[in-house]
Amino acid sequence: MDSCLIFSPNCSMWREALLVVTLCAGLALAQFPRECVTPEGLRSGQCCPSPTGASGDECGSSTGRGQCVAIAADNRRHGPQYPYSGRDDRERWPLRFFNRTCQCNGNFSGYNCGQCKHGLTGADCDQRVSVVRRNIMQMTAAEKQAFVDALNQAKSTVHPDLVICTRRYQEVLGPDGNSTQFENITIYNYFVWSHYYSVSKTYLGPGQVSFGGVDFSHEGPGFVTWHRFHLLQLERDMQNMLGDPSFALPYWNFAIGGSECDICTDDLMGARSAFDMNSISPNSVFSQWRVICESVEDYDTLGTICNSSESSPIRRNPAGNVARPMVQRLPEPQDVLECLELNTFDTPPYYSTSSESFRNSIEGYSAPQGMYDPVIRSLHNLAHLFLNGTGGQTHLSPNDPIFVLLHTFTDAVFDEWLRRHQPGEVVYPEENAPIGHNRRFNMVPFWPPVTNAEMFVSAPESLGYSYEVQWPARPLTLSEIITVAVVAAVVVVAALGGLIACVVRARSHHSAEALQPLLGETFRSYSEDDRRLDKSQSVV
């Protein structure tokens, strides 16, 4: 696999950066805190800096924020899809680089326990912040514009903490052995790069075909958990960029059916260009965006890696793939409903061929009802393919910002499934899933290490955000309609019968009084006496 480390952009660290590379035993891309990328840090295998920089205050231990602990990396059996061992630095992530990290207490988080968990703020991380992800189509014009502006800012804002190396381990010193090969990268492009890294092939060496049967973020149970953390990381970076801890990524409800992309307008994600049906309208800011990680053939054959160089514009032609009519329509509301009704989270072989699996259905390799069919593409996959362009190619898809909105809705469906079924982590496979997808596997390439199990929880209760979603209701079946009609008819007949009985009784009573006038007079007199008695004895 290609190799690079991510370092702080601080130029004073270049010398240490060179030593870092010489200490790497294999080929990899990875991200690590600047404070840990020192010769001493890598030799010790420990990344436990202090949030204040004070000596002897690892992970804020002096104030109870956290402590330095050994990293637990998954060593259980994975599925047969990946046949190698020791050829890819993503195996047992991140032990090739570090074996000790910070474990934060309570509501503290971050690589040095200097931050708060998502949805919390304050010096003691005890002030809750409302982070609510909403339907972008139900936001005001001002809110939509603010979100578009924030994305554009993230696209152009250099990440404050990280840079990436642009060559493999053997070439990181450059052709003269003294030219370090590192570059800055923007916040949004780092979001794109992380996704690329998780799906990239295993580079086996010059002259050898790179191995493509590996994917750390798709085609397995980790699909929903990996992308959940991926979004959380972007949301946190944008909150920090904006100085707004309540900033929330909106979602696109793509399960609307039809062949129209309702968010493909110039006030949102960009309309279709009038000059090129595969391009975005020049009236949209996204027409100016350029993609990264496009040179896949070079990465796979030359062993080069994705860097921060931007190339082509975003391509998009919703419903334009005439060769595949199946992907010319968006999923239907009924598809979401049926997917949510699946009882089992995932089924063997925990892969893209699983049947009766909620995960495989929401990912879109199975029908919404759970049946696997190699021809079918539904829900998440169908929405990507419907976009017909950059957003439909796995290694490039996050370059189209619709990716963010598409995946927040996918995550909303996942969170609703968790709410309805209350499964517990025991249903998440502990072993035999594809590499990277076991329950305790640390998701690649995130730091500090975070397992799939840590994201297999209710978002409002454990992750600090929630969704506002109106879920589709299940239509009544024919038998249910007949039952309701029968019950309604019985009620109507009973009501009519009661009304008729009352009328007949009233008429009979009136007739009886007419035939016995003295009895009638006595009754009325009695009731008058009774009313007078009531007035005089109101207390009783």
- With cut-offs at 50, 70 and 90, classify the pLDDT of residue 522: very low
Long-range pairs for 283-287: beta carbons < 8 A, 24 or more residues apart:
285/148, 285/152, 286/152, 286/314, 286/401, 287/313, 287/314
pLDDT at 486: 78
Give the contacts of 53 (CB within 8 A, at least 6 positions apart): none
Burial of 332 (0-12, 13-18, 19+ CB in 10 A): middle
Average confidence (pLDDT) over 389-404? 96
Instruction: Please give the residue that has the higher pLDDT: either 518 or 71.
Output: 71
Average confidence (pLDDT) over 176-188? 72
pLDDT at 305: 77
In our burial notation (b when 16+ CB lie closer than 10 A, e otherwise), range 135-159 reads: bbeeeeeeebeebbebbbebbeebb
CA dist 231 → 392, 406, 455 (Å) = 18, 11, 11
pLDDT score of 13 more than 50: no
Kindly calculate the radius of gyration of the chain based on its CA atoms and give it in whole angstroms. 31
pLDDT at 325: 92
Per cent of the chain over pLDDT 90 is 66
Tell me the average pLDDT of the chain: 85
pLDDT (tens digit, 9 = 90+) per residue, 273-299?
999 999 999 999 999 999 999 988 888
pLDDT (tens digit, 9 = 90+) per residue, 142-179?
999 999 999 999 999 998 877 675 665 556 445 866 55
CATH no., domain 34-38+133-468: 1.10.1280.10
Give the contacts of 537 (CB within 8 A, at least 6 positions apart): none
Among the listed ranges 170-179, 262-271, 388-397, 478-487, which one has the minimum average pLDDT value? 170-179
Q: Is the peptide bond before 448 cis (omega within 30 degrees of 0)?
A: yes
Bridge partner residues of 163 (DSSP): 7, 184
pLDDT score of 498 more than 60: yes
pLDDT at 456: 98
Bridge partner residues of 115 (DSSP): 109
Query: How many whole angstroms separate alpha carbon 232 and alpha carbon 190?
Result: 13
CA dist 187 → 117, 239, 289 (Å) = 20, 11, 14
pLDDT at 333: 97
Q: Taking the CB of residue 246, how many other CB atoms lie within 10 A of it?
A: 12
pLDDT score of 519 more than 70: no
Q: Please report the sign of the dihedral spanned by the C-alpha atoms of residue 129, residue 134, residue 139, residue 143.
A: positive
- With cut-offs at 50, 70 and 90, classify the pLDDT of residue 418: very high
pLDDT (tens digit, 9 = 90+) per residue, 317-375?
999 999 999 999 999 999 999 999 999 999 999 999 999 999 999 999 999 999 999 99
Q: Do residues 251 and 412 lie in contact, with contact meaning Cβ atoms separated by under 8 Å?
A: yes
Cα angle, residue 113 at apex, residues 111 and 119 outer, rounded to 5°: 100
Q: Please report the sign of the dihedral spanned by the C-alpha atoms of residue 20, residue 25, residue 29, residue 30.
A: negative
Tokens of 26: 């294999």
pLDDT (tens digit, 9 = 90+) per residue, 30-55?
467 777 766 677 678 898 999 999 99
Average confidence (pLDDT) over 177-200? 82
Tokens of 502: 């009352």
Domain boundaries, the chain: 34-38+133-468
pLDDT at 174: 58
Instruction: Please give the residue that has the higher pLDDT: either 412 or 475.
Output: 412
